[in-house]
Chains A and B, each alone.
Chain A
């Protein structure tokens, strides 16, 4: 039996969901590591639970720790004023391959712009539930046909973009060629 009543409640509602719980940094907020595939079910429990009412996904941040992509959900409640952090992870096969995680937009609609950002910049695709309607917000942070996911640690910058040199050193080389001394 878990000592923490929240963990016990989650284990009862979604068996096998909780991997471990830790304190987040120096703060007093609990962070719970979950089995990635259970995030949507856990989200539903946390939002509907009368004692928690975690109805606000304040932030969704993706971080790469040693080739593992970790999605961190910063949750808060507008009713009970409680906060909680959830974490799930996935390992990409290669630098260029995407990873797939369940979307929580059906429970927290405000997740949408943050999930779209992570999709473009980290290659983390959040697959949608069947009932979801896409909102009318579209974000194109990267130019069309951009190769790779820039926020991954191993990302290699392109030498040139649309025929123009990318790095400062290469730009200087180009200037030397164009302007003879």
Chain B
């Protein structure tokens, strides 16, 4: 892993190549670091090791199969890929979504967001070497995966949304279970805070580290929790609401700089905890009033072919703004499906954030950005 070449002899810098597969990396990627002692002087990031040709695959399959492929855009939060495709198709075909289907979709989205943020806590805990919290959080995340299984039959790769609604109605007792899990996570959040969030060791490792500035947000186009932690309140659920998010009462948390400076690693961590709280608020409001009626538009037949046209949908995934450009030429397969994953911007930010930090902090910074290489490489 450690190497020296002519450049490093000339400049007294050591060159390190990490990856594509390495324990300190959140996913397959290669980092070329030049080190001045323990300080990282510069960093090059190389991605593409997880490219599966997802967009091409979508073009080669019928419209209905595209939903199951969209699942694999980001396997950790499958429902967001599905939703982005469905919303674009529904705009092209002018398909009405029944209110009950909208509610079920929001429940799935917010449960996925909580699940993704819990996974984020696990990654952060791994990066700073805190074992206990990992087991606590994974135990609680299982409850959310149980809910997915109860509703869709799958814990990952849900393949549950359909053009004009969802695949099945909610099962008996599902809504009550959602509320129970919300209450359980609310209690557990105190446990996480006592054990981890305000632990002095954790604060020392994350405060004032790798600060995202408003300038960097503008340069790279960063969205989602990483951008909000740096004080930018942009959330597409509020700015251009879809699925009826505008009728719900929830806040968009922003970074406050409790760790020392606004937009540091600790802010990114705290912000995700606050987003879990807001997602639970949304779930409670939805669960109290799930409308009665169809769970899918009855006019949409199984072999539905999307009419010629195009649309661009934008949703707020757990990592930021997920866009989907869908083009149909009226045939049985899509003409083009293109995703705009939020991780592309986060990856671009890595080479700006890493220089100047110590090598031991690299896994912490990478984990704090919540990189989804699967969606970036596609």
Contacts and interface: CB of A to CB of B under 8 A. Distances in A.
Interface string B10-43: 0000000000000000000000000000000011
A72 interface: yes
B321 A27 contact: no
A78 B218 contact: yes
Interface string A64-82: 1000000010100010010
- B contact patch SS: mixed
A113 B347 contact: yes
Contacts of A150: 53, 56
Contacts, number: 104
B4 interface: no
A27 to B, nearest CB: 7
Contacts of A151: 55-56
A119 B232 CA distance: 32
B377 interface: yes
B345 A110 contact: yes
Interface residues of B, number: 42
Interface stretch (B179-187, B259-267, B305-313): B305-313
Given A58-B321, A61-B325, A81-B239, A137 B351 contact: yes
B51 interface: yes
A108 B350 CA distance: 18
Interface in A92-141: 108-110, 112-114, 121, 135-141
A24 B49 CA distance: 34
Contacts of B347: 113, 137
Contact of A137 (B53, B234, B348): B348
Given A113-B347, A138-B45, A27 B239 contact: no
A59 B340 contact: yes
Contacts of B43: 136
B92 interface: yes
A52 B72 CA distance: 37
A111 to B, nearest CB: 9
A63 interface: yes
B54 to A, nearest CB: 11
Contact of A114 (B234, B312, B344, B377): B344
A26 B325 contact: no
B336 interface: yes
A140 B43 CA distance: 17
Contacts of A85: 312
Nearest to B240: A83
A138 B46 contact: yes
Contact of B219 (A25, A109, A139): A109
Contact of B309 (A26, A56, A74, A81): A26
B193 to A, nearest CB: 33
B327 interface: yes
Contact of A113 (B53, B321, B348): B348
B169 interface: no
Given A24-B310, A27-B311, A138-B44, A110 B219 contact: yes
B221 A110 contact: yes
30 contacts: A25-B311, A26-B91, A27-B312, A55-B218, A58-B314, A58-B323, A58-B340, A59-B323, A59-B340, A61-B325, A61-B336, A63-B310, A63-B327, A63-B336, A64-B336, A74-B325, A78-B218, A109-B220, A113-B345, A114-B340, A114-B344, A136-B42, A137-B47, A137-B348, A139-B46, A140-B46, A140-B47, A141-B48, A141-B377, A151-B56
By Cβ-Cβ distance, the 9 closest A-B pairs, closest first, are: A110-B221, A136-B351, A59-B340, A140-B48, A141-B51, A136-B44, A61-B325, A61-B338, A138-B46
Interface of A: 24-27, 55-59, 61-64, 72, 74, 78, 81, 85, 108-110, 112-114, 121, 135-142, 150-151
